[in-house]
Structure 1
Amino acid sequence: MSRPPLSPERVVDAASRVADAAGLAGVSMRSVGRELGVEAMSLYHHVASKDALLDGLADWIFVRIETPTAGRPWRAQMEARAHSARAVLAAHPWGLGLIESRRRPGPANLRHHDAVLGCLRAAGFPVALAAHAFSVLDAYVYGFVLTEVNLPFQPGEAAEDFVDGLGLVMAEHPHLAEMVAEQVVGRDYAYGDEFDYGLALVLDGLEARFASG
């Protein structure tokens, strides 16, 4: 059976699979070529360099994050975008260090950033507050995902099982022990459940600042 022809899209898709399996450090023209079953040199007809491939991967992430729509309620749009970004970045954590680091942002990257600002500006946000909102929302989402994907839990391990393993150490830290006793023990606690509460705090703060003019 003949393989479909190479294209920039197929090369970037293959790079995303390599990154999912081996992290961003595992992405090279050679590893992507192996994923596609071709020689690395053949990729250069479609992607100019490894740097261009990383630009394409950043765009690949942005294509998958829900883009806000100007003219719709800004808070609901920002909330939906935050949930979408969390889901995409949790599924592809190699994107965390990549998506805001590219010196040559691609078309999906630029469209996404413009749409976020456009949604806020259409709602009446001044330019400065729109920029602050964009920054704080991304800082919250990216920081939450970074923590979430690096928690020291084993697959299937509950938070309560983890803190049980800390044993006497907890007794030496009374405020931490108090929080665990009240929030974790017997409550089927999951760190991911904190996301909506924290996001609401951020959006409440932005809403109050916006309303104050």
Structure 2
Amino acid sequence: MSDDQNPAPRSERSRFRSLAVPIACAAFAAGMLGAAFASVPLYTLFCQVTGYGGTTQRAEAAPTAVSDKQVTVRFDGNVAEGLPWTFRPNQREVRVHLGAKTDVSYHVVNNSDRPITGQALFNVTPEAAGLYFNKIACFCFSSQTLQPGETAEMPIIFYVDPEMADTEELKSLQAITLSYTFFPVDDPAPVVAEPNAGKTKGKDS
């Protein structure tokens, strides 16, 4: 029997192939997306411990020695799509001595009519400065829940490690930018990172 006598089956096979390809691609993309989300907590912890990607460090207290060297710290605030919050720094920048404990804060408002929990992710630029930017207290250490229309002031206590001035790459650095982005979360959980765990620094010989 010739192919000309069976156009319908061939047409059906063509339609099947045309549908199967995008469906397979979509399934693959969904699998990759799921894997990416599953890896986020481990990746975040890795970054917080190592300073990779401009992630800051955690500390119990500021050092006793304060350097004469100063650096400008700038602050940035963002909210992810779908989070109806207003979020901005109360100070756009501060000039600090390396090693000096500094207090700043962010202003946040829940503009919705329902309680919402958010988690702030953060980094600093330049990325190499993340290893020397230490937070003693920060709203980003745990998720934050705001009631409908609630306004809050969210504090940060930090210092920039004086050892930053001993690194060839950063010794002439004049400014650091600390950036936060709040994301909505369904199941709030604290962000865990041991203070200064795995902290390694290179110094000039």
Give TM class, smaller chain. under 0.3
* More RCO (CA 8 Å, sep 6+): 2
**TM-score, structure 1 normalization:** 0.25
- Which has a greater percent of helix? 1
Rg (Cα) greater in structure: 2
